[in-house]
Structure 1
Amino acid sequence: MMLSIQDIDYPTYFIGISTFLICYYLLKRPKNFPPGPRGLPLLGYVPFLGSNTAESLRQLKEKYGSVMSIQFGREHWVILNDFNAINEALVKQGHKFSGRPVNFVFDLITKEHGFLSMDYGPTWKALQKFGLMKLRGFGVGRKGMEEHIIEETPYLIESLTKAKDCTSQMKLTFAVSNIICRVVLGSRFEYDDKKFLHMIEIIQRFSEDSTHTHLLASLTLAPILRFIPPFRNAVKITSDDADCFMEYLREFVEEHKSNFDQNNIRDFIDAFLLEIKKSPKDDSVFNKFQLIQFIRDLLDAGSVTVSSTLAWALLALATFPECQEKISQEISETLGEDGLPSMKHRDDMPYTCAFIQELMRHRTVVPMSIFRKTNEEAILNGYTIPKNTTITPNLWAVHFDSDHFENPQEFLPERFIDRDGKFIKSNHVIPFSIGQRGCIGQQLAKMEVFIFLTGIVQKLKVIPDPERPLPSFYIGGNSVATYEPPKFEVIFERR
């Protein structure tokens, strides 16, 4: 039967054609773009990701290759799923892959001025150079900072053995945060200081495995969700937290300004204030607002990843008591009961070093690194990557690559011990990423993990609580950017 023109439902016809064209436009990939799975209009592939996003992307490598694309929201991102692809992009073509994409959640927290989320350019280069120089000047990665960590260790041990006034993870964060606070703010805080406690609560609210951070994680991939009520509420909480945190930091900066002495530079804030004083008025790099955001980034980065790594370490010690006893034996032979752990002892403690490296491989705390962006068009594995494309280095995929690690799903520190009993450093364990935008605090982080972990095992035995069964070591949860251990409690017995 033939339809006449009068029989056509034009509104329905128009909506159908429009929907088809919109979907086609949203799902269309650029020419010679890496292959990947199709998603849904507006949301992309977000609804199909599992509880571990990095693992879900790693599994797609078998079908789509080490360089693949995936739609998140309305954008097509490129995922780098093996070491060679990541090294080619971030190191060999680092000048093309060192940008930062606009991200709704990170901009919400940093008010679009954060150093870590800043795009590649003159301002970032100037802040990067200043940050590296001043952090080294204040002892980061050197002997002076090592002494601060050693001094903090007894406070942490005492806190862990006290009544459960707060979680072990929170106590770890107190200790780790105090180290970066010494550098940035010039002092440490007591663990019951109200302002310090609230700052840590804000930091943890952004990084813990919770419904709130799951909502934020979805917003990083599909910001259009911010208009839906549960996501809208998460946006408000995050924005309010960011404002409160910035107000605390303003107070620290004003306090430093009130007793500033350019002949006595005490900490990072003083060093930045001196740079502001030497710079022209309204300088785009060295100004008060940029200082506050830089401090925020340093406190965030200097608190979350190391405390999460140490929390994973505690869970590993309780789950694998044989590993704990091997570390304890090494400590006993190297330090005895009262010797102070320091970085000079690493060569005498190969198993401890292997345990830490295996922990960072197996429980990668920042599994997809921090998103990058192409500064210009690039060719990678034969594919054309347009300018301003978001790039995600999947560090988790590298760490679970059977080409580099036999039986990668197993937690096996011995894989990094050679026949002579010496520690083997692996170039394929890259928890801090690589290239121009690798973590500027990685030397400090390595120092903290080694000294805090050694100090804990030297004085305390970590055992499961019979009244609270341990969760699986092999299952964590995603926050916005980190892979967090499940909530757990253990018992600390003095040795």
Structure 2
Amino acid sequence: MDDYICLITVLLILIYLWLSWYRKPKNFPPGPRGLPILGIVPYLGKHPEKVLSKLADKYNPSVMSFRMGRMDWIILNDIEAINQALVKQGEDFSGRPKSPLFDMLTNGCGLVFVDGERWKEQRKFGIMALRSLGMGKRILDEIINKEFEVLANHFESSGSSIDAMTSLRKAVTNITCEVLMGKRFEYNDPVMEIITEHRFVLLSIMDLLHNILVLFFKLLPDYHLEVLLNTINSLAVIQEIIESHKRNFDQNNKKDFVDYFIDEMLYKEGNYFTSTNFIMQDEQLCHYTRDLLVAGINTTTALGWGIVCLLLYRGHQTKIAKEIQQVIGDETPTLHHQDRMPHLRSFIQEVHRCRSIATLNLPHRTTRDVRLNGYDIPKNTPVLTNIWRVHNDPRVWKDPHKFNPGRHLDSNGKFVHSAHIIPFACGYRRCLGERIARAEMFIFFAKIIGRFELNKDDGEPLTLDNDPAGAVNSPKPFRFTVRRRS
């Protein structure tokens, strides 16, 4: 009899747990639950953005839910839902999900993984500081053009073929370091290697999405240690530069982001800058600078995809080179030239569309109970945006999987900006360094195509397939050759 009662009890507990797993919040968006404990994790594969897009076709093409680990998630699948949530209701969706991994790596500092009033003030400061440093103005053009000359010399001295992604990453790193810390590094400097290899934000999308993987990290000590040491080494480099800034700080001659932050710490009244805990201030500055640096290095990926497209579709090289000669000639390219260069601008916009960099972007979190598209979404619900699906929406783009810059030109050959292409996200969490990235893209391609003819390396396989090793959609490593244009 006792055994019978025990069996019934166990069965009732299992039934309760099973029903609890499939229970959703009231009036929650539809979507799959997956397996107990894991949710839909086992089904996501190497390209979760494509799997989630297919699920959206089945459950809801606008707003869908799914279970990931122990939590219910929301994913926004079209531009209308994304704009409604992140722009019109932006503050309600401006949080970040909690992650034990990133809490460990950042100690709650920086910008990318913090939220609330501290994030608001820090972001406001960042916008002000970058604007004061000339973001989007001629001084930025000068920094980019100067670094390109170093890159061009590197191209020509490389001999036969060039490691595309490594070369571009070092150039972009130097531009970002100039803006943030007033410093650049030689390409063979060991410090350059430390900085360019610091990309913990680019961990696999699974690392970002569910806390359950913290358990797996404990079973993978080598990987766990590698991520931690990588972060420590990068922060040590940044801290050393910050200490040098403090020793030589001149309030009347602020040269970079670090100087502006130090000025805020010493002389301003911001609630999150004037703490008597100077160790915490230093830690915040280190992680803030690191966040912006990593985000800046991500521009390398878009530049890499652009070169892949130039190599695969050579006709665009010829067309853009002719436009560069007509508009820029022997001048130094600046953003002032772009209004007269529809072919280059349409090429860049198509690169952003065709090869979405952050296919699912970083996750958001609702900061209060909200209603979206008729659904009720509880506070603290994590939210994703499927940017890949937006950029490949057949309602907007004819033959979306084809690379076609001509789709961004009107009947008169003028460039048409598209609000359906959001490589830098939108709303409250829009990329802080967007203007820098856009300037890099335009000037780099104007200089590269204007000066060099690009060719595939002999025997080098080259496709638009990506490398699914991280959360950023990167090209597979490739090499190419250059030849001076006559």
Name the TM-score, length of structure 2 as normaliser. Answer: 0.93
Q: Which residue does the alignment assign to 2:113?
A: 117
Tell me, yes or no, if the aligned pair for 2:101 and 2:214 is still in contact at 8 Å.
no
Q: Write the letter of the residue equivalent to 2:190.
A: K
Secondary structure of the residue aligned to 1:202 is coil
Partner Cα separation in structure 2 for residue 390 and residue 223 of structure 1: 12
Which amino acid letter does the alignment assign opposite residue 30 of structure 1? Answer: P
Tell me which residue corresponds to 1:299. Answer: 293
**Residues 1:469 and 2:461 aligned together:** yes
Q: Deviation at 1:19?
A: 3.8
Are the counterparts in 2 of residues 327 and 351 from structure 1 also a CA contact under 8 Å? yes
**Contact between 2:164 and 2:477, CA under 8 Å: does it hold in 1?**
no
Instruction: Give the aligned partner of residue 302 of structure 2.
Output: 309
Q: Does 1:26 align with 2:26?
A: no
Distance 1:24 1:114, change over 3 A: farther
Shift of 1:445: 0.7
What CA distance in whole angstroms lies between the structure 2 residues aligned with 1:285 and 1:382?
46
Per-residue CA distance 1:119-164 (angstroms, 9 max, x = gap): 1x22111111110001010011111111111111111122233147
Relative to structure 1, the CA distance from residue 41 to residue 347 in structure 2 (aligned partners, 3 Å threshold; closer, same or farther) is: same
Aligned-pair CA distance for 1:6: 5.7
Distance 2:276 2:14 in 1: 48
What is residue 390 of structure 1 aligned with on the other side? 382
State the 1:38 CA deviation: 1.8
- C-alpha contact 1:226 1:232 (8 A) present in aligned 2: no
**Is 1:182 aligned to residue 171 of structure 2?**
no
Match of 2:433 in 1: 441
1:43-442 alignment runs, 5 A limit: 43-65=38-60, 66-119=62-115, 121-161=116-156, 162-163=158-159, 167-203=163-199, 207=202, 213-214=203-204, 217-228=205-216, 231-278=220-267, 279=269, 280-282=274-276, 287-304=281-298, 306-336=299-329, 338-442=330-434
The answer on whether the counterparts of 1:174 and 1:200 sit within 8 Å (CA) in structure 2 is yes
Q: 1:324 to 1:16 in 2, by over 3 A?
A: farther
Identity %: 37
Q: CA deviation at 1:42?
A: 1.9
Change in 2 beyond 3 A, CA 1:274/1:465: same
Secondary structure of 1:26's aligned partner: helix
The alignment partner of 1:463 has SS state of strand
SS in 1 for 2:94: coil
Does the Cα contact within 8 Å between 1:69 and 1:76 map onto a contact in 2?
Answer: yes
**Is the CA contact (8 Å cut-off) linking 1:225 and 1:231 kept in structure 2?**
no
Kept after mapping to 1: 8 A contact 2:31/2:59: yes
Q: Shift in Å at residue 404 of structure 1?
A: 1.4
Give the C-alpha shift of residue 221 in structure 1. Answer: 2.5
Once the two structures are superposed, what CA deviation does each residue of 1:190-227 show, in whole Å capped at 9, x if it has no partner? 11111122211223x753xxxxx44xx32323332333
Q: CA deviation at 1:485?
A: 1.1
Q: CA deviation at 1:96?
A: 0.8
Q: Which amino acid aligns with 1:482?
A: V
1:210 corresponds in structure 2 to none
CA distance in 2, matches of 1:104, 1:458: 47
| Partners of 2:317 and 2:11 in 1: CA distance | 63
3-state DSSP class of the match of 2:407?
helix
Distance 1:423 1:403, change over 3 A: same
How large is the RMSD of aligned CA atoms in angstroms?
2.1
String of CA shifts for 1:246-303, please: whole Å, max 9, x gaps. Answer: 1111111111111222222221111111111125443699821111111011101111
Structure 1 residue 241, shift from structure 2 partner: 1.1
Given that residues 185 and 191 in structure 2 are in contact (C-alpha distance below 8 angstroms), is that contact kept between their aligned partners in structure 1? no
| Amino acid in structure 1 at the alignment position of 2:110 | G
5+ unaligned residues in a row in structure 1: which ranges? 208-212
Give distance in 1, aligned partners of 2:474 and 2:14: 40
SS of alignment partner, residue 449 of structure 2: helix
Q: What is the rounded CA distance, in whole Å, between the counterparts of 2:312 and 2:93 in structure 1?
A: 39
**Structure 1 position 58, deviation (Å):** 1.6
In the TM superposition, residue 239 of structure 1 has moved relative to its aligned partner by 1.4
Does structure 1 conserve the Cα–Cα contact (< 8 Å) formed by 2:96 and 2:365?
A: yes
Match of 2:473 among 469, 483, 487: 483
**Aligned amino acid, residue 308 of structure 1:** T
Q: Which amino acid aligns with 2:389?
A: A
- Tell me, in whole angstroms, the C-alpha distance in 2 between the residues paired with 1:101 and 1:139: 33
Question: CA offsets per residue over residues 452-492 of structure 1, 9 Å max, x none?
Answer: 1111111112211222222x21x213354311111221222
Distance (Å, rounded) in 1 between the aligned partners of 2:233 and 2:308: 32
Q: Is the 8 A contact 1:206 1:479 kept in 2?
A: no
Alignment partners' CA distance in 2, 1:230 and 1:30: 33
CA distance in 2 between partners of 1:48 and 1:319 (Å) = 32
Following superposition, the deviation at residue 235 of structure 1 comes to 2.2
In structure 2, the CA distance between the partners of 1:374 and 1:172, relative to structure 1 (3 Å rule), is same
Distance 1:9 1:294, change over 3 A: same
Q: For residues 468 and 342 of structure 1, do their structure 2 counterparts lie closer, same or farther at Cα, with a shift above 3 Å needed?
A: same
Shift of 1:332: 2.1
1:46–1:221: 8 Å Cα contact kept in structure 2?
Answer: no
